[in-house]
Structure 1
Amino acid sequence: MNEQSNQVPSFLAGEDNATQDSLWDYVRSMSPDTVSQLSKPLSPEVFQVMERNIVGMLGQLPPDQFNFQISTSRESLGQLLASAMMSGYFLRNAEQRLQFEKSIQSDATLPPME
């Protein structure tokens, strides 16, 4: 990923509502490659957890029985996006930790090198 993805976004730095466009500006500042990379979880388990999380936030109605439209304010949509992003960061960190622990365990089972 690029250097920009390692920066703390201003919308997470505790700024007030005067910078309400900072989340949108942050997302727009990402390169298409970064957005693509962040949009695709590595494991199907992470994808399922993210999907359940978003469905839990929005609610789930069977589309064949209901014709619905979601409307919200700009601020609420920004909060939803920020929440989804934070969940994604958390899940990615958990996924990396699991891979690291599996790697350590597999290294521990190898015979010592002479």
Structure 2
Amino acid sequence: MNNASNKISELFGDGAESGNLLWQYVQSMSPETVAQLSKPGSQEVFQVMERNIIGLLGGLPSEHFDVSITTSRENLGRLLASAMMSGYFLRNAEQRMAFERSLQDVPEVG
């Protein structure tokens, strides 16, 4: 197994509940923290995340198809890790955009 697979197995466990560090970490958080971390900072971030997850799962409209997705624990862990990394990236990009916009509003000195 490569290093990335080892990290995924370490985070999501290999079937043993005691080895599931991510689940233990999430359970240790207060409900307010989980709610805050689960909400995107803006509607734009929410829409990009939604499109990303739909792209990962497949884009068949559920109102016209009886869509059922089956996966393994490891693949679900990878999907979660991908969604989390995308969320971090988008949040950082959103913060950078806001910072750059605020700098444009600052009058030049000199």
Confirm or deny: 8 A CA contact 1:41 1:47 kept in the other structure.
yes
Report the TM-score, using the length of structure 2 for normalisation: 0.76
Alignment CA distance shift 1:28-1:96 (3 Å): same
Does the CA-based 8 Å contact 1:50-1:88 persist in structure 2?
A: yes
Alignment-mate amino acid for residue 99 of structure 1: A
- Report what 1:30 is aligned to: 29
Q: Is the 8 A contact 2:8 2:77 kept in 1?
A: no
Whether the 8 Å contact between 2:10 and 2:21 is mirrored in structure 1 is no
Structure 2: unaligned runs, 5 residues or longer: 14-19
Aligned twin of 2:9: 17
Q: For residues 53-92 of structure 1, what are the structure 2 equivalents within 5 Å?
A: 53-92=52-91
Percentage identity across aligned positions? 62
Q: Deviations over 1:72-97 (max 9, x none)?
A: 11111111111111111111111111
Aligned partner of residue 106 in structure 2, secondary structure: helix
Q: Which range is displaced more, 25-34 or 80-89?
A: 25-34
Q: What is the CA-CA distance between 1:32 and the residue it aligns to?
A: 1.4
Distance 1:87 1:74 in 2: 20
Change (3 A) 1:82 1:64: same
Q: Which runs of 5+ in 1 are unaligned?
A: 1-11
Q: How many residues align?
A: 98
Q: Please give the alpha-carbon distance, in whole angstroms, between the structure 1 residues aligned to 2:9 and 2:60.
A: 33
TM-score, scaled to structure 1? 0.74
Cα distance in 2 for partners of 1:59, 1:42 equals 25
Relative distance call for 1:16 and 1:50 in structure 2 (3 A) is closer
| CA distance, structure 2, for counterparts of residue 41 and residue 92 of structure 1 | 8
CA RMSD of superposed structures (Å): 2.1
SS in 1 for 2:99: helix
